[in-house]
Amino acid sequence: MVIYQRFIVFTCVVLITLFAGFGAWRYSVWFLPIAAVSGVLTVLGVCDLLQRRHSILRNYPIIGHLRFIVESFRPEIRQYLIEGDRDAEPFSRQDRGLVYQRAKGVEDKRPFGTIENVYGSGYAWLTHSATPVVIRDTDFRVRIGGSACRQPYEASLYNISAMSFGSLSANAIRALNTGARKGNFAHDTGEGGISHYHRQGGGDLIYQVASGYFGCRNDDGSFSPEKFAELAADPQIKMIEVKLSQGAKPGHGGMLPASKISPEIAHARGIPMGVDCVSPAAHSTFATPIGLMEFIGQLRELSGGKPVGFKLCIGHRREFMSMVKAMLKTGIVPDFIVVDGAEGGTGAAPVEFANRVGMPMLEGLTFVHNALRGAGIRHEVRIGAAGKIISAFDIARTLALGADWCNAARGFMFAIGCIQAQSCHTNRCPVGIATQEPARQRAIDVNDKSERVARFHRNTMRALGEIAGAAGLSDPRDFMPYHFMFRQKDNEFLDGNEAYPYLPEGFLVSGEEEIPELADWYSRWDRATAESFAPPEIPHGPFMRRNARQIRDAGRSLTA
């Protein structure tokens, strides 16, 4: 009998159905509701026994459905009842609470001291000054646009990162862009093109051109210079960003099923209805580092001299060095580069890509910054950075490690009401942000949420001014690595200059005596080529670290 205990509930339901049915026929109609409910459950149990898809339902008819019911709201149970203030999956309650408070304009202070483990590995802190400074004007800005740019842009140090219409609802786009206008900062369109909801808000736009060329494509999906020039002439568009990869899924394309393509999405992207919309993993317009630079030069000319740059998550470091070599060879230098970290990502992505592909932002930013310094062109290129940047400390640390400004996506999503339900890809976002269902997105009041977006930005900039002043600085752009300390182990910490040093200006191209400690940089630079992203050779055999001179001499002997 023990092995059949799992059928007790089903058996009881069947018996209740029989007795209630008999009672309704023999005694009173009051038995009918019981018979009806138990009858439905009996049919459900029979279906469970006969179906072949779910083993748990075959073994536990009726009661097995509790497992799926509980699992469906497991994230909410964890978030509201179990999760601690410091549990970060992917953002902690403390972080989310900070955004909510600043967006609403309510008290954002915390009593009774920190809840951070200040002696734990990974903890970082700002070194303050004995002579702090009071900063009154916190409208911090950076000019983006090199010598070839005819329309430079004065950007805020904190802007909305790339999120497409289609991924986000119409009301979410309107709230974000209207908030950007009210707060005088920029809104990245994402790769999905520019919808009329972007235009309604009137906020500054960064037009992202990805592999699908949405908004500037021919019918076959190739890039259309004519359509791009027409679109880029819009004065609301302040900068052009070529997307090579994103932190959520670097090296991965995407596909929007035809069933999800509405007339509005089709118009914004310039695609037909009734056909799956494919975003290729790679661009079709270029295939080499030189080709990328020539494409950037073409976009700059077609846009009338607006700032043009590219966004990427660092993968093969040699490939980025190939891009830098292409800048030197062609003389075409992008106005900006946005470094996206592997920890970033509003879009749904395969778990392997979200968890294990791409370089985290701090390491990627440091590498890009130092590669440009090594080539002697860091002063010509502005660097933006994105990847879980939501607090003033996050911004300050990122600026110190080499960024000129920061972007955030999920932070501004929190500002318009995101509760981190992590159902963005289901079209059933509970707060109407990541959905195309009109009934759901009407939950977003554009006027109220746009005020929250502007208020979150304003209060974050004010906090950035406060911690810059605490460090004795008059501007947060003056942050350097030495202003921060990083705990490597439970009983050890490093000065920022040791953990994330600025490497010597021009060391890769100066022709001076090589620095032994930078042998890996020299060897990687030697293997990079402006003509191709492919490696000149595939290393085989056991790993053996050699210095740059040995590698260079070995290469000469092979070609002799």
Q: Is 254 helix (H, G, I), strand (E, B) or coil?
A: strand
| CATH number of the domain located at residue range(s) 141-499 in this protein | 3.20.20.70
pLDDT at 276 (0 to 100): 80
Cβ atoms within 10 Å of 379's Cβ, excluding its own: 10
For residue 92, give the DSSP letter: B
pLDDT value, residue 553: 55
Spacing of C-alpha 107 from chain mean position: 28
CATH 3.20.20.70 maps onto the chain at: 141-499
Rounded Cα distance, 55 and 335, in Å: 57
So what's the pLDDT on residue 555?
46
Please give the structure tokens belonging to residue 338.
């946005």
Which residues contact residue 147 at a Cβ distance below 8 angstroms, ignoring those fewer than 6 apart?
380
Both ends of the chain: CA-CA distance in Å? 84
Strands (E), 182-296: 186-188, 204-209, 237-243, 254-256, 277-279
Task: Give 157-194 as a DSSP string.
Answer: SEEEPP--BTTB-HHHHHHHHHHHHHHT-EEE--TT--
| Cis peptide bond upstream of 430, omega within 30 | no
**Which tokens in the block code for residue 418?**
């995101």
> 337, 309 in Cβ contact below 8 A?
yes
Could you read off the pLDDT tens digit of each residue along the chain, which spans 560 residues?
A: 556 788 899 999 999 999 999 998 888 889 999 999 999 999 999 999 999 888 889 888 999 998 888 877 776 676 666 666 666 678 888 898 999 999 999 988 877 888 888 888 889 999 999 999 999 999 999 999 999 999 999 999 999 999 999 889 999 999 999 999 999 999 999 999 999 999 999 999 999 999 999 999 999 999 999 999 999 999 999 999 999 998 777 777 777 777 778 888 888 898 988 888 888 889 999 999 999 999 999 999 999 999 999 999 999 999 999 999 999 999 999 999 999 988 876 666 677 777 778 899 999 999 999 999 999 999 999 999 999 999 999 999 999 999 999 999 999 999 999 988 777 877 888 899 988 888 899 899 999 999 999 999 999 999 999 999 999 999 999 999 999 999 987 778 999 999 999 999 999 999 888 899 999 999 999 999 999 999 887 766 555 555 555 545 544 443 44
Interatomic CA distance for residues 221 and 277, integer angstroms: 10
Q: Tell whether the torsion through CA atoms of 381, 386, 392 and 396 is positive or negative.
A: negative
Q: Report the C-alpha gap between 276 and 254 in whole angstroms.
A: 10
Tokens at 110, concatenated: 């915390």
C-beta of residue 409 within 8 angstroms of C-beta of residue 386: yes
Run of H or E including 338: strand 336-340
What is residue 215's DSSP assignment?
T
The distance from CA 373 to its chain's CA centroid, rounded to whole angstroms, is 26
The token pair at 541 is 């055999």
Closest by Cα among 460, 479, 471, 481 to 407 = 460
Q: For residues 442 and 200, what is the distance between their CA atoms, to the nearest angstrom? A: 17
Two tokens, residue 483: 């202003």
The CA distance from 117 to 508, in Å, is 40
Tally of residues, the chain = 560
* pTM of the model as a whole: 0.87
CA distance 270 to 110: 49
Quick one: which of 408, 348, 416 has its CA closest to 174? 416
Rounded Cα distance, 266 and 277, in Å: 9
Q: Which residues of 3-38 are buried (b: 16+ CB within 10 A; e: fewer)?
A: eeeebebbeebbebbeebbebbeeeeeebeebbeeb
Q: Which of 515, 486, 516, 514 minimizes the C-alpha distance to 498?
A: 486
- Token couple for 288: 């080499």
